[in-house]
Structure 1
Amino acid sequence: MAWNEPGGNGGNQDPWGGGNRGGGNRGDQGPPDLDEALKKLQEKMNGIFGGGGGSSKGGGRGPSSLGLGGLLVLVVGAAVIWAAMGFYTVNEQERGVILRLGKYHDTVLPGLRWNPPLIDQRFTVNVTQVRSKDHRALMLTEDENIVEVGLKVQYRVTDPQAFVLQVRDPEVSLSHALESALRHVVGTSEMHFILTEGRALLATEVQDRLQSYMDDYGTGLQISKVNVESTRAPTQVQSAFDDVIKAREDEQREKNQAESYANGIIPEARGKAQRLLEEANAYREEVVARSEGEASRFIQLQAEYSKAPEVTRERMYLDTLQSVMSSSTKVLMDVEGGNNIMYLPLDRLVEQGGGRASSVKSSQAFSDASTEQVADEVIQRLRRQAAPRREER
């Protein structure tokens, strides 16, 4: 007969050993009945939530015992879940700002962290990311012109506490401060300066002023760089401004060419003037030196003349005659006691004696050979004239 058939002793042949389930002999070591375990759990839950009393099979436990145990289980489970909700991770690029009961408590570093849920409130902020913001607007310059300026601002968070707590929306404050700083700098500059060489200076001034605004507001932002991407006139008048800029560039080019020409002419003129001054000084020194030499020669000649007047006078005459006749090719001589004038073609005489030569060589030959003959004849004539005078004396 099968163990589960009705009647007989089949009920005692339960293979799970649950012969008397009403709390009989517990010496049997078989596993508990699954249906009985589910029934007991249901009775405990009914006792906790106000259900009916337990049956006689509950081992004599009352409703109060079941309610206290279930409540303890729920409390422990809720505590475990609450504690598990408090674990979180802060990445390497982030910092965590902790508020406890709405008040700043701490700034946590990267790693695995725990904070009591529902008591602490956390905000994670990326402090290494370089953020950027584009801005473009029409501005009025100092000379009452309108320019369109486009720039990009790069920034990052350096103070997480100030970024989270000091300002409601730091990036909106950054936009307003950027607009204010840009209008202030452009409004104090001329349009030509902004459109040409002033873009780098414009970016530097905007960055400095914007950083001062961020520090005053306490946003916790650090401005890394301000790049001016474009500065131009409004689209409606862009062509006219292009013509103006081209004209200014042409003007600057002409000025540079004029300066280059002046830089080449002025030093050359100064060099010529200096050369003339040097030549004048050299001529002056030459004239002075020649004059001093002539004076010295005259003084020496005077001393020799006082010693031998006739010889000195004769020598001076000969030297003078030589200096005059050396540059002449013809000589005319008036012979005493005759009516004819002697003509001496010295160039012909030189050609007959030494061949043909140039006029300069003829003059040189005359100074060397013919002059001695003329000088001898002149000396003889002077002696003949001096003889009667001696006799008269």
Structure 2
Amino acid sequence: MAWNEPGGGDKDPWGNRNRNKNDGPPDLDEALKKLQEKLGGLFGGSNKNNGSNGGGSGGSFVVLIVAALIVGSLLYAFAGFYQVDEKERAVVLRFGAFHEIKQPGLSWNAPLVTEVFVVNVTEERQYPSRGLMLTEDESIVELPITVQYNVNDVQSYVLNVRSPEESLRHAADSALRHVVGSTELEQVLSEGRNKIAIEVKKRLQDYLDSYGTGILVRGVIIQEGRPPEEVRAAFDDVIKAKEDEERLKNEAQAYANSVVPGARGRSQRLLEEAEAYRAEVTSRAEGETSRFLNLLAEYKKAPKVTRERLYIETLEQVMTNSSKVLVDVEGGNNMMYLPLDKMVQEGASASNPARATLTQDQLRQISDYVSRQLGRDNNARQGVR
């Protein structure tokens, strides 16, 4: 039942129990006074008599304000503490302007007037990307790339660019397309990827430095490029042919390494043999020349004796190398032929099978014996006649 309805007991919430229903609205000052009295009662004041609670309510209100200020100050002080890890750096802005860079450790800055940005400067971050791009020879290739980077200048990273990560992505795509656009497809798909990675890293770092992002590119990894699906089979055949070419080159090089040293050894041996033969012939010629000069000197002293000796020595050399002897009998018309080789073989087989040659003395004895025998036979025939 409402307080102003019939039978409600005339319970006025503003404390005007004796006020008539038809009177005006309640007094605002009186309502505020009632509220102050209630608050004073909560903090130790008394509202039993209206005359004695004026000073108590004022003191309790002051206590409330002081307590609120103390609690707020403590909260404000605690809110300003923060921790910077060893791998982090903190950029402090005061009233929106750069103030300082905090090193690792426990720090404090006044809240509301300062703003702190904590950035990890040692973590190696990665940005993977891939896409279709056009090469110098107007071919389309899909080239995956991974950029490894970290924060080098924390102040530039926080203040110069609104979104450094987004700037890195755009710069990486631009640098990659620029380098691939000036490279032929064969180089992109084969051994030219390392060169492309070096050029992309340099160009990307130049872009980031010009933007002032504070990012340092640690490395650019370019994975295996792939042609579009429509022509992948043809490109696989080309790659396989190149691998076969490289394999055959290696095999040919291995064969050359095994053959060339042997050929060089043989050629060196032939050169040494030729040099030895040249030295031998030269020495023999010099010896023959020296012997001829000595013989010439002796010939000038005794020509007849020298001629006879030369003739005999020549016959000995000729007869030594011959296995047949022809004997011309003086005063006769027949010439005797002696097959010494057959005679030697028969004599050797009968006496000593291991001995199959005759010395010069033996040949001379045989010749003398044959000559004497022929002379006796000739004399006998003449006596008969």
Please give the TM-score of this superposition, normalised by the length of structure 1.
Answer: 0.72
Please state if 1:56 is matched with 2:46: no
330-339 or 234-243, larger mean C-alpha shift: 330-339
126-135 or 169-178, larger mean C-alpha shift: 126-135
Query: How far does residue 193 in structure 1 lie from its aligned partner after superposition?
Result: 1.8
Partner of 2:285: 291
**Structure 1 residues 72, 44: closer, same or farther in 2, change over 3 A?**
farther
Hey, what's the Cα distance between the residues in 2 that align with 1:223 and 1:188? Answer: 22
Query: How far does residue 142 in structure 1 lie from its aligned partner after superposition?
Result: 2.0
* Paired residue type of 2:238: V
* Paired residue type of 2:128: D
Contact 1:141 1:186 in 2 (8 A): yes
Task: Determine which of 357, 364, 369 is the counterpart of 2:362.
Answer: 369
Query: How far does residue 169 in structure 1 lie from its aligned partner after superposition?
Result: 0.3
Partner of 2:338: 344
SS of 1:56's equivalent? Answer: coil
Contact 1:147 1:231 in 2 (8 A): yes
Query: How far does residue 187 in structure 1 lie from its aligned partner after superposition?
Result: 1.9
Q: How does 1:225-374 map to 2 (within 5 A)?
A: 225-266=219-260, 268-347=262-341, 349-350=343-344, 355-356=349-350, 364-365=357-358, 367-374=360-367
Partner of 1:26: none
**Structure 1 residues 88, 308: closer, same or farther in 2, change over 3 A?**
closer
Q: Percent of counterpart pairs with the same letter?
A: 49
Please state if 1:186 is matched with 2:183: no
Query: How far does residue 155 in structure 1 lie from its aligned partner after superposition?
Result: 1.9
Query: How far does residue 375 in structure 1 lie from its aligned partner after superposition?
Result: 6.1
Hey, what's the Cα distance between the residues in 1 that align with 2:84 and 2:70? Answer: 28
Query: How far does residue 167 in structure 1 lie from its aligned partner after superposition?
Result: 0.3
367-376 or 169-178, larger mean C-alpha shift: 367-376
Hey, what's the Cα distance between the residues in 2 that align with 1:215 and 1:118? Answer: 33
Query: How far does residue 129 in structure 1 lie from its aligned partner after superposition?
Result: 2.5
180-189 or 278-287, larger mean C-alpha shift: 278-287
Contact 2:87 2:121 in 1 (8 A): yes
Q: Residues 306-354 of structure 1, C-alpha deviation per residue, up to 9 Å, x if partnerless? A: 4444443332222222212222233221111223323334345545765
Query: How far does residue 279 in structure 1 lie from its aligned partner after superposition?
Result: 3.7
Query: How far does residue 171 in structure 1 lie from its aligned partner after superposition?
Result: 0.2
Hey, what's the Cα distance between the residues in 2 that align with 1:102 and 1:162? Answer: 15
Structure 2 residue runs without a partner (length 5+): 1-34, 375-385
SS of 2:332's equivalent? Answer: coil
Partner of 1:154: 148
Query: How far does residue 39 in structure 1 lie from its aligned partner after superposition?
Result: 9.0
In angstroms, what is the RMSD of aligned CA positions?
A: 3.6
Please state if 1:126 is matched with 2:115: no
Aligned residues: 335
Query: How far does residue 244 in structure 1 lie from its aligned partner after superposition?
Result: 0.8
Q: Residues 343-382 of structure 1, C-alpha deviation per residue, up to 9 Å, x if partnerless? A: 33434554576555899965x4152312245369889x9x
Please state if 1:204 is matched with 2:198: yes
